Each structure stands twice: as structure tokens, then as C-alpha cells.
Structure 1
Amino acid sequence: MSDNKSDPLTVKDLMVGLDEFPAISREALFIEAFHALERANEDFTTGKSKYRTLLVKDDNDRIVGKLSPMDLIQGLEPKYSNIIDPNRLKFKDTFYVITSMKHQKVLWDRPFENLCQTAQNARIKDFLKMPTEGHQVKKEDNIDEALHLFVVGRHDSLFVVERGKLVGLLLFSDVYEHISRKIKDTCEL
């Protein structure tokens, strides 16, 4: 972090390099991703790792995305991503859309019926969402730009990009910790 108070805080000051996170191939099966997420969570809770985020690599070992438990569960019903873009759906609309689809039996009539078949056959690449522009910041961006994306997109992390390549993650928890310290150090009486 910058010691000079006149220097604006940038993404690179708080970002975490990609090598800090466990990773899995996008060719991995759903069940392999499940076990990798379990290991990442266990390593995090036992203190072996600072992060539980699981990154996804392509065939050339480049990071192309990240996988969360919610992503994994959404992989059980990949048709949702063809119909719903949760980043563009207002909260008040979500319940109506999902309820109407369930009533019309368009999606997920019996989510657990094919659970084991999906877990053994689906590959991460079949349901992995690639990072969009609204989920990325540049390494040199002012932290204010990242904060805006966190608030608007309600992301838990943002991909950090340098010259078109993913180079790290900016975690909301780290940004919040920085804000919290600043409030305690400068705002309290």
C-alpha cells in the first residue's frame, strides 16, 4: 500500500496474485470441482490457505474464471444461464421469473433427480461463466472504480486485468477491511 496520503489507492495496492489461489482445469468434471471446492474450503478453515476461491484454467494453464459453490450448484441446471442473466435482473423481479418458470415446468422441475448423473458427466466448461467487463478492473485503476463495481454488481471479487490478461483478484473482503481500517483511523472521535 502507498504510504503517501496524496497518492490515490489503486487496485494493485489491494489485489491478490493468481498464484495465491488453488486452481482446477475447465475440463474437470463437476464431481472433481465439488471435491476441489471442499478441499479449498477445508484449507481455508484450518488456516492452510488464506483463500477459498477456486480458479479455473484453460488448456494453456491460463486463468479463465473462478468457481464458487453457487456456480457449481447453477451447473446442475445450466439452462438458467440461457434464460436469466442475474446481473441484469432486479431483485424484485427474480422471484416472479423463477416461480413462473417452475410453474411452466421450463426449468428444474426435479433438481435432485439427476444429481449424480450430472456430477459424473458435466464438465466445468459446460457451465463456467467467463468474466464480463462489469466484473473486471484494470490493475492501475483507482480503487473507487472497483468500489463502484462491487456496489453495483454485488460481486464478492473482481478480476484484475493487465494488458488484456487476468493477473489477479480484488476481493471485496480486502477492500472492506481497508475501508474499515480507514474509518477507525480517521473518522472516529
Structure 2
Amino acid sequence: MKNFTVKKLLLPISEYATVSLGTTLFDAILALEQAQEKFYHGKYQHRAILVLDDEKKVVGRISQHRILKAIEAGEELSKDLSKLKMFNFSDAYIENIRETIRLDTKIFTQQALKKAAGKKVEEFMQKPTPDEYVAESSPLDIAVHKLVSGNHLSLLVKRDEEIIGVLRIADVFVAACHGMKALNIGEK
């Protein structure tokens, strides 16, 4: 695995689920489903959708976690509850109110799912942070450090300033397992 670079494991953007700004959550989910059906690179499916601007540049990402967060009813009220800190309510009190609302709110109702399906991706996408990028020419150990220290499931791979693909933790994990097997670790 000496001199193993990110380029060897990245998935090109062309093989990844992408949507444009302004796309609804429902259409984004369909795009993810379609990409998963087309993708046969190992046994690990895509778990996120990349959001592109009008110039086809990546401006955000929607993970399965973000999708569920968008579906969770009461998200707007939860944001309003955060404002209670201004009035010196304790974190425990605010969290208690949040939990009460969560218990009283049904997420998987037709009304809640319909409302979530119509949300635009920019309302809940995550904008990439500087530690979520890695150069395609970077050694794999740098990528592993970024994945682990940032607790990321994937990194956006750059060539110069252009994002050309995605490095998924699942693919890095498989490469590490294959590397260990190649060394015959455990055999005496």
C-alpha cells in the first residue's frame, strides 16, 4: 500500500448522486435511489447526495442523516427553542421541552412526509467545511486522518480547485482490510 493515493479510491462525481439547488427533498431522494441502482462499485451504496450550483460546482451535501432531520417534524420550533438561551433558561430545561415536543410529534404521518418532500435541498444541505476536502494526489494516510479526526463518512476530492469526486470511508476501509490480508497478518 506504499504510495497509495486518494486518486486510486475516489468515486468520480459522474458516478455519484447529484442534484441542483432548488431541487425538492423528494426529487433528491429519487436521485439517490437512481444512483444506488446504477452503482456497482463494491457492496457499499451511496449514502449522500451532492448539491450543485448553476455552474455545476459542489456547494453542499445531503447525507441520510440530513434527510431524516429534514423529515423530523418540529424542526422550526426546535430552532425557536434555541432562542430561549437569551432569557437564561438552562440547557436542561430547553432540552426537556425539545424532548417533550419530539415525543408528542408524529414524524411518519402523510402530512409530515408531504411537507418534508417539498422542502428545497438548500434548506437542509450541509455546506462543506475546509477539513472535508482532500487533493486527489494526497497520500491515503492524510485522507484517513481527515476522515477519522473530522468524523466524516466521506471527503470531497479536488484537482486544483475543482471537485472531481468523493472518497468514501467504506472504500478506504475495504482498502485497509485488503492491505492487511495481503500482509498475511495473523498467520504464523
TM-score by length of 1: 0.72
Query: Is the counterpart of residue 144 in structure 1 residue 141 in structure 2?
Result: yes
For the residues of structure 1 that align with 2:97 and 2:131, how far apart are their CA atoms?
A: 27
Quote the residue 2:86 is aligned against: none
Structure 1: tracts of 5 or more residues without a match: 85-95
Structure 2: tracts of 5 or more residues without a match: 83-91
For the residues of structure 2 that align with 1:82 and 1:161, how far apart are their CA atoms?
A: 37
Query: Is the counterpart of residue 124 in structure 1 residue 152 in structure 2?
Result: no
2:130 paired residue among 130, 133, 143 = 133
For the residues of structure 1 that align with 2:81 and 2:146, how far apart are their CA atoms?
A: 23
For the residues of structure 2 that align with 1:69 and 1:130, how far apart are their CA atoms?
A: 15
| Aligned pairs for 1:1-189 within 5 A | 5=2, 8-44=3-39, 47=40, 51-52=45-46, 53-77=48-72, 99-100=95-96, 102-103=98-99, 105=101, 110=105, 112=107, 114-120=112-118, 122-188=119-185, 189=187
Cα RMSD after superposing both structures: 3.3
Q: In the TM superposition, what whole-angstrom CA distance separates every residue of 1:27-69 from its partner, at most 9, and x where no partner exists?
A: 111221222233334445xx59985343222122223233232
Query: Alpha-carbon deviation of 1:24?
Result: 1.4
Larger radius of gyration: 2
Quote the residue 2:87 is aligned against: none
- Matched length: 169
One-letter amino acid of the counterpart of residue 173, structure 1:
A
For the residues of structure 1 that align with 2:81 and 2:179, how far apart are their CA atoms?
A: 42
Using a 3 Å threshold, how does the CA distance of structure 1 residues 118 and 185 change in structure 2: closer, same or farther? closer
For the residues of structure 2 that align with 1:143 and 1:164, how far apart are their CA atoms?
A: 19
Which stretch of the first structure deviates more once superposed, 149-158 or 49-58? 49-58
One-letter amino acid of the counterpart of residue 35, structure 2:
A
Contact 1:30–1:119 (CA under 8 A) maintained in structure 2: yes
For the residues of structure 2 that align with 1:97 and 1:9, how far apart are their CA atoms?
A: 50
Q: In the TM superposition, what whole-angstrom CA distance separates every residue of 1:152-171 from its partner, at most 9, and x where no partner exists?
A: 23322111123232111111
Query: Alpha-carbon deviation of 1:104?
Result: 6.8
Query: Alpha-carbon deviation of 1:71?
Result: 1.7
SS in 1 for 2:22: coil
TM-score by length of 2: 0.72
Aligned-pair identity in percent equals: 27
